[in-house]
């Protein structure tokens, strides 16, 4: 796992904030030398295999991880994905080619506007494999800072 300090400025739950958080995730992945095509919609089906009922603890059970914090667990358990709206996302690459596909889920914000959860699937059609990844952000002053990220599933 890697950690990059990213702060995204703006108010919670606006189209601009969603876009900024999505772009910060893309920036993280590009630092890892990933080449990918970004789907043009944030879709609820990218939530599949994320354990909302279990608090989103995923594959990494390190007790110091943000997703093991009781506040984060409560936030994740409170999410009802059926009530989350899908939306257009216009940050994709033009040429799909043989690149991996990045399929974002809609960003989820906590009711108190202090936490944001970004989930995506990174999938390779060529190898027919991929992973589900979650990025945990928290509000810092007037922006958003990455608290942690985890791979929560493998797709074969």
pLDDT digits (tens, 9 = 90+) for 65-119: 888 888 999 999 999 998 899 998 888 665 666 678 899 999 999 988 889 999 9
Q: What pTM was computed for the model?
A: 0.85
- In the 8-state DSSP scheme, what is residue 65? S
Which of the pair, 62 or 46, is modelled with greater confidence? 46
Backbone angles phi, psi at 58, to 5 degrees: 60, -150
Q: Which residues contact 125 (CB under 8 A, 6 or more apart)?
A: 98, 101
Say if residue 3 is exposed, middle or buried (CB neighbours under 10 Å; 0-12, 13-18, 19+).
exposed
pLDDT digits (tens, 9 = 90+) for 29-59: 888 777 788 888 999 999 988 999 988 877 6
**Alpha carbon distances (Å) from 40 to 63, 86, 89:** 35, 11, 5
């Amino acid at each position: 796992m890697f950690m990059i300090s990213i702060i995204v400025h703006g108010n919670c739950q606006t189209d601009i904030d969603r876009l900024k958080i999505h772009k910060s995730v893309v920036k993280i992945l590009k630092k890892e030398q990933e080449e990918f095509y970004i789907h043009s919609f944030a879709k609820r089906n990218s939530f599949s295999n994320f354990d909302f009922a279990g608090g989103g603890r995923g594959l990494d059970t390190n007790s110091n991880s943000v997703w093991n914090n009781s506040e984060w667990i409560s936030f994740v358990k409170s999410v009802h994905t059926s009530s989350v709206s899908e939306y257009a996302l216009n940050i994709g690459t033009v040429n799909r080619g043989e690149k991996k596909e990045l399929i974002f889920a809609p960003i989820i914000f906590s009711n108190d506007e202090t936490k944001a959860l970004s989930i995506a699937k990174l999938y390779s059609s060529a190898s027919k494999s991929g992973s589900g990844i979650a990025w945990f952000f928290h509000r810092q002053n007037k922006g958003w800072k990455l608290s942690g990220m985890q791979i929560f599933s493998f797709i074969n």
